Every structure is written in C-alpha cells, then in structure tokens.
A and B are shown apart, each in its own frame.
Chain A
C-alpha cells in the first residue's frame, strides 16, 4: 500500500498512476483477507467487499485501456501535468 501510494504521489505518467491504483486495490484485498483469517469473528460481509474490490479493479483496467486507445489515437500526452491543463 505504501509503495503504491508513493508511486501515485511521485509519478506523472497517466498509465503508471492507474497501475498504482491497481496496486492499492491489490493491497486492500490482502488486508481484507488478513482480517478474514485473523479476525476474531469474520462476518460474511467480507465476501461482497472482496468481489467489489475485484470489480473496481477490472472496471479501472477497462477505463484505462479505453482512455489509452483514445489518447494514443489523438496523439495526446500522457503526462498528468499537461493533462491537468486540458479544458472542455
């Protein structure tokens, strides 16, 4: 989680920032399973939460690929510093 957050803070490439978020989601699954394995009374609510984390990770990958293909086709820069200056 710390590696991913550090990467999210220090990176400026669009794709690598999304990969950092994927790492955060992976770390959250590990933490959730830690609670299931070591918690004193793990409840069934952990299961939908785990499925939700996986779904968010999958949807994020779909959004990344869609935006990437669109930006690549238009020759956009992937530098977030420049993307932040874009206006509608």
Chain B
C-alpha cells in the first residue's frame, strides 16, 4: 500500500510527458488540443497530490473549461497539422532539454512544508483585491469573445 503514494508523482509525471508529446505528434489539430486538455487535467491531479485543491480546481476551470474549449471551438475544428519539421530533432531536443532541466531541479527540497496552504497564502496576498480580480477575469473573457467578433467583422469588411 505504501508503494502507491511513492509511485504516484512518477506516474503523474509520465502521464504529463506523454500527453505533452501527443500535442506535437498528432496530425489533426483537434487531437492536439485534446492532448493539451489532458495535460491540463493531469497537472490538476498533480496539484491535488500537492494538497492544493483550490489551485487544482482553478486549473481545471481555466485550462480545460476556458482555454481548451475556446481553442477547440475556434481553431481546432477545421485545421489540420502540417508535418513536423523532424521527429528526430524533436526527440533529440526533448532528451537534451529534459536532461538539463532534470539536473536543474534535482537539488530542490524533497520534504513537504506542511504549514502553509494556498488558501492562506491567497488571502494574505490578494484578500482585499477579490473584486478587482473578478473584474479582470470578466474583462478578459469579454475581450476573448469580442476579439473573435471584431476580427470576423473586419475580415468581412476587407474581403
């Protein structure tokens, strides 16, 4: 039973790497965006493992509920991939960069700091700015919708 918690971060990391690779090896853009959504879901699971449930929920809301759906609807439904420049160069770059980054994070501390949760940090950092942040989020999504409407109207005017 004790093997499972030890193996869980490695399993989640492997799932994240595989879904990240699928973003680039899929030939259809819709499948690539779906792989990106899967990577976001796995990262939310990682946040759950780190005992940060609020961040996991926000990650799901923003990356899957917001960005992935937006990309699927607006972009991925109609476009196909061009071929990758070279699968060999992708593999070589992945191995090289993975080795460099793994070496960089190898010395990070391995013991959890159990004192401070993200909610306490958030309240001390942005507790008085909730309204401002909510207004920013509303404006951001309004800009997302308006950008598509404006550019479609602009394209009609030009063509």
Cβ A2 vs Cβ B111 within 8 A? no
B interface secondary structure, majority: helix
Known: A1-B101, A3-B21, A38-B112. 15 other contacts (CB 8 A): A3-B24, A10-B84, A10-B87, A19-B23, A22-B67, A26-B40, A31-B105, A37-B51, A37-B112, A45-B125, A47-B125, A59-B140, A61-B144, A62-B144, A79-B82
A84 interfacial contact with B, CB 8 Å:
no
B2 interfacial contact with A, CB 8 Å:
no
Cβ A50 vs Cβ B55 within 8 A? yes
Interface residue total, chain A, C-beta cutoff 8 A: 57
Report the minimal beta-carbon distance from B18 to chain A, rounded to whole angstroms.
Answer: 9
Partner of A13 from the list B81, B94, B121, B148 (CB cut-off 8 Å) is B81
Interface residues on B, range: 35 or more
Cβ B113 vs Cβ A39 within 8 A? yes
Cβ B67 vs Cβ A58 within 8 A? yes
A interface secondary structure, majority: helix
Residues of B within 8 A of A65 (CB): 70-71, 74-75, 144, 147-148
Residues of B within 8 A of A3 (CB): 17, 20-21, 23-24, 94, 98
Partner of B81 from the list A16, A46, A55, A64 (CB cut-off 8 Å) is A16
Residues of B within 8 A of A29 (CB): 43, 55, 59
Proximity string of chain A (1-39) to chain B, C-beta cutoff 8 Å, 1 when within and 0 when not: 111111101111101100110110010011101101111
Cβ A58 vs Cβ B66 within 8 A? yes
Residues of B within 8 A of A73 (CB): 152, 155, 159
Report the minimal beta-carbon distance from A32 to chain B, rounded to whole angstroms.
Answer: 9
B8 interfacial contact with A, CB 8 Å:
no
